[in-house]
Amino acid sequence: MPVAAHIDPDSRIVMFRCSGNVGINEARRAFDHMMTDPAVEGTRALWDLRGAALTERPRAIPDIVDMLQNRHPERVGGGRFAILVEEELGQDVSTSVAKSVTSDSLHVRVFSSYENAARWLGGEEL
């Protein structure tokens, strides 16, 4: 899965855009790179999976949540992570996230609207 990562200059949110088959090793490399970048302030990130082949890789969501919980815990604790998916996958992905999150300090929500995800990452309670 190609993973493109960048920091949004306006919101300072880390953006990960994934496409094709979701390969966790590539996602880990992108996540490691951004979490060790001194330019990254705080821990607010958006994983845009709208272009990813999630229905073909059901382990993708638990793998991503596991990565968020267990890699860079000193940077991730208390952070907010939004997962953006196509609307028709929202309920299934939300259920998978709920089953996978075991940390009380990790906040992960699933959205089908970029605007709502950005508002939540910005601190609004939706």
Residue 44 lies in a domain: yes
Q: Are the C-beta atoms of residues 102 and 62 closer than 8 Å to each other?
A: no
Look at residue 104 in the predicted model and tell me its pLDDT.
84
Q: What tokens does 107 get?
A: 């906040």
Look at residue 84 in the predicted model and tell me its pLDDT.
94
Look at residue 12 in the predicted model and tell me its pLDDT.
84
Residue 51 lies in a domain: yes
Count the domains in the chain.
1
**Which range marks the domain in which residue 100 is found?**
3-121
Binning pLDDT at 50, 70 and 90, where does residue 55 land? low
Residue 60 lies in a domain: yes
Residue 48 lies in a domain: yes
Q: What is the CATH number of the domain that holds 52?
A: 3.30.750.24
Look at residue 21 in the predicted model and tell me its pLDDT.
83
Residue 126 lies in a domain: no
Q: CA 97 to CA 42: how far, in whole Å?
A: 22
